Structure 1
Amino acid sequence: MKAVNTELLDLLGQGGRRFVVPIYQRVYSWDYEQCEELLRDIVTTGAREDDYQHFTGSIVYIASDAGTRTSREPDLLIDGQQRVTTITILLASLAALLKTKHEDKQDPIGGFSPEDIHEYYLTNKRKTGDEYFKLILSQYDKDALKAVVNGAPLPRSESRVVSNYSYFVDRLAEFSHDQLADLCRGLSRLVVVDVELSRGQDDPQRVFESMNATGKGLSQADLIRNFVLMDLPTVEQNRLYEDYWFPMELRFAGQNRQSFDAFVRHYLTTKTYKIPKQGNVYDAFKEYVFNQSQGGTDRNEIVRDLHLNATWFANMALDQEMDSELASRFYDMDQNVAYPFLLRLYADFDAGKLGRDEFLQILDAINTYLFRRAVCDIPTNSLNTTFVSMLNTVDDEHYLESVLARMLTLPDHRRFPKDVEFLSALQERNFYKFKRVRHFFNKIENFGRKEHVSISDYSIEHIMPQNANESWQSDLGDNWKEIHDWYLHTLGNLTLTGYNPEYSDHPFSKKRDMEGGFKQSPLFINRGLGILEAWTQDAMDERAEKLAKQALLIWPRPQIDDSVEERYRIDGRNGRGFDWSQLHQILEVMPAGKWTTYANLAEIVGTGAQALASHLSAHAGCTNAYRVLNWNGEISDGFRWSDSNDEREPRKVLLEEGIEFDGGQASRNQLLQPEELAALLESELEV
Structure 2
Amino acid sequence: MQAKETLLADLVQGRAQQFQVPLYQRTYSWTEKHLKQLWSDILEQAELLETGGKASTHFLGSLVLAPSPQNEATFPRWLVVDGQQRLTTLALALAAIRDHIAGTQPEEAERIDEEYLINKRKSGHDHLRLLPTQADRPPFAAHIRGAVTDQAAGGGVAAAYGFFRRKLVEADDPAAPQDVFRLEQAITSRLTLVAVTAERGDNVHRIFESLNNTGLKLSQADLLRNYLFMRLPTRGEHIYETYWLPLQNSLSNDELEQLMWLQLVLDGDDRVRRQDLYTAQQQRFEHGEVGEPEIEAYIRELHRHGTLFRRLLHPEEEPDASVRAHLHRLDAWQAQVTYPALMLLLDRRERGELDSPATARAMSYIESFLVRRMICRVPTNNLNRIFQAMPGQLPLDVPVDQGLHQLLSADNRFWPDDDELREKARTAPFYQYGRWNQRRMVLERLEESHEHPEPVDFAAAQLTIEHVMPQSPGDEWLEMLREDAADSESTEDLHARLQHTLGNLTLTAVNSELSNHPFERKQGLLQGSHLEMNRRIAATERWGATEILARADELAERAIGLWPAPLRGVGRAERSRDWHLAHQVLAALPHGTWTSYGDLAAFLGSGAQAVGTHLANTPQVANAYRVLTSDGKVSDGFRWAPQDTGGDIRARLAADGIRFTISGAADPAQRLTSDDLALLIAGADEDQTDGEDTTQDTATAGQGEETRADRFIRQLTADDSPETVEAVRTLLARWEALGGWIGYGAGHVTTSAFLVLGEAGGPGHGIWPLTLYPGSGRGGTAEVVFQHLAAREPFTDRALRAELLRRLNELEGVDIPEGKLELRPSFRLSLLEKDHNRKLLTETLTWFRDRWESGRTS
Q: TM-score, normalising length from structure 2?
A: 0.38
The structure with more radius of gyration = 1
